[in-house]
Amino acid sequence: MKLLVLVLNRFFWFFPTVLGLMLVTFTISHVIPADPVAFVAGDNATNEQIEALRAQLGLDQPVHVQLYRYVLSVVQGDFGVSLYTLRPISHDLASRVPATLELTFVAVLLSAAIGIPLGVISAVNRNSLLDHLLRVFTVSGLAIAAFWLAILLQLLFAMELGWTPLQGRVDGWGPDEVTRFYLIDSLLMGDLDIFLSAASHMMLPAITLAYPAMATIVRFTRAGVLEAINSNYVMYEEAMGFPRRVIVWKFVLRNALIGTVTQIGLIFGILIANAVVVEAVFDWPGLGLYAVQSILQSDYNAIMGFTVVAGVIFIVVNLIVDIAHGFIDPRESR
């Protein structure tokens, strides 16, 4: 019941949150003293051509009229057209969202799959050499700039060792697009070569994205385990003679994960933001690369489309995290 109320509450706040996001993004993008129309029209355009194009794009209207029209069209599912290409933003986003989501999902899985066990190990070996080594590892993960790590990984694994591809999402042009998640589409096609190619291309960007996320997960899991391990129920279970590994990995971890799962939700949003850098370095055709190009071109509609979609993804992921809380901690759903 409590969980249902929480979900309904989140749905209630969903639309005001997205509207607020649109207002902020719209204001920021229109305050910048850039003239996308002059840019789109090109060096050789006459002033008459520029003004004609401005009118055609509706950018000659007062800002509040532009905002009203934009919100109205977004409500109807229309993000408008790119000022630069005049193609529907929704088409551009639809072709790029899966690439970013696929990369982000793999990065989250990787960071959780490695980060949670390392957090537990760090906690149960508190203040040992291993704990200190893991601390160095996690602090490095939080401190190292993503673009620098990306280049290092490229130089080592792609250039020096030749183990992984340098950039891109797949060799050639990829599988027939069904879900646009290449790992899934290649399996649907039954083409193992494309699957392996997609997986190999995924490794370096996923590791780059996952490393700082993993560091956060290690720290939060460690703190959660330390807190739980000193609880009375752990003392009781030890007194009952449960093996140490069962106590730690089954009972302690479940209680310790509540904070970690919340962090994973937040990390998902951070990863989408970090994808802007990682996608640019690895030439990953996702939302991040699209955002970079849109910002460089002052493409208002594309920038807002990216922001709204990223915001919605973030809200949905956090909703899923709230629901997951209910399963991990039954008290949440009562």
Partner 1 sequence: MTMTGNGLTTALRRLRRAGVVSLTSLALGITLAAAPVADVEAKNTFVFANSSAYDTMDPHAVFDVGRVAYRINLYDGLMRWEDNPPVLNLWLAESFDITEDGLTYTFKLRKGAKFHDGSEIEAADVVYSIERMLALKKGAAALFIGTVASGSTKALDKYTVEFNLSKPSAIFMATVPEIHVLNADLMKQHVNNDDWGSAWLSTNDAGSGSFKLKRYDPAKGFLAERFADHFMGWGDKYLDEIEFRTVVEINSRVLGLMKGDFHGSDGYMPQDQIIRLRKSDNVNVEEQESMRIFYSIIHNGRSPMNDINFRKALSYAFDYDGFINNILSGSVARNPGPLPNNIWGAPKDLAGYTYDLDKAKEYLAKVKEPIREITIGALAGYGQTEQAAALLQNGLTKIGIKSKIVAEPWPVASGKMRDEQQMYDLLFLWKSTYYADPNNWVGEMYDGASIGARNNSWYKNPEVDTLLHEAQTTTDTALRERNYAKAATMVANDAAGIFIYNTKWFGPIDKRAKGFRFCPIGNGQEMRWVYFE
CB of 293 to partner 1, least distance (A): 5
> In the complex with partner 1, which residue's Cβ is closer, 60 or 332?
60
CB of 126 to partner 1, least distance (A): 6
CB of 183 to partner 1, least distance (A): 10
Alpha helices (H) in 154-297, listed in sequence order: 182-189, 192-229, 232-239, 244-246, 253-282, 287-296
The 3-state DSSP class for residue 12 equals helix
Residues 6 or more apart in contact with residue 316 via CB below 8 angstroms: none
* Structural tokens at position 163: 């183990």
> In the complex with partner 1, which residue's Cβ is closer, 113 or 139?
113
The 3-state DSSP class for residue 166 equals coil
Residue 280 found at the interface with partner 1 (CB under 8 A): yes
Q: How far apart are CA 223 and CA 104, in angstroms?
A: 25
Task: Please give the residues from 86 up to 115 whose contact with partner 1 meets the rule CB under 8 A.
Answer: 86-87, 92, 95-96, 99, 110, 113-114
Q: How far apart are CA 334 and CA 328, in angstroms?
A: 12
> In the complex with partner 1, which residue's Cβ is closer, 302 or 315?
302
* Structural tokens at position 238: 């030890």
> In the complex with partner 1, which residue's Cβ is closer, 100 or 255?
100
Residue 283 found at the interface with partner 1 (CB under 8 A): yes
Residue 146 found at the interface with partner 1 (CB under 8 A): no
> In the complex with partner 1, which residue's Cβ is closer, 8 or 94?
94
CB of 325 to partner 1, least distance (A): 22
Task: Using the rule CB under 8 A, give the single segment among 21-29, 136-144, 161-169, 306-314 that binds partner 1.
Answer: 161-169
Q: x/- binding map, residues 27-66, to partner 1, per CB under 8 A?
A: -----xxxxx-xx-xxxxxxx-xx-xx-------------
Task: Please give the residues from 67 up to 86 whose contact with partner 1 meets the rule CB under 8 A.
Answer: 82, 84-86
Q: Are 309 and 297 in contact (CB under 8 A)?
A: no
DSSP 47-96: HHHHHHHHHHTTTTS-HHHHHHHHHHHHHTT---B-TTT-SBHHHHHHHH
> In the complex with partner 1, which residue's Cβ is closer, 18 or 153?
153
Task: Please give the residues from 287 up to 326 whose contact with partner 1 meets the rule CB under 8 A.
Answer: 289-290, 292-293, 296-298
> In the complex with partner 1, which residue's Cβ is closer, 2 or 126?
126
Q: x/- binding map, residues 171-210, to partner 1, per CB under 8 A?
A: xxx----------------------xx-xxxxx-------
Residue 224 found at the interface with partner 1 (CB under 8 A): no
* Position among 17, 66, 125, 262 found at the interface with partner 1 (CB under 8 A): 125
Instruction: Name the strand (E) or helix (H) holding 121.
Output: helix 89-124
Distance of CA 63 to the CA centre of its chain: 31
> In the complex with partner 1, which residue's Cβ is closer, 114 or 258?
114
Q: Are 308 and 294 in contact (CB under 8 A)?
A: no
CB of 18 to partner 1, least distance (A): 25
Longest dimension (CA), the chain: 85
Report the alpha-carbon angle 279-283-285, nearest 5: 75
Rg, C-alpha atoms of the chain: 24
Residue 121 found at the interface with partner 1 (CB under 8 A): yes
Q: How far apart are CA 90 and CA 83, in angstroms?
A: 13
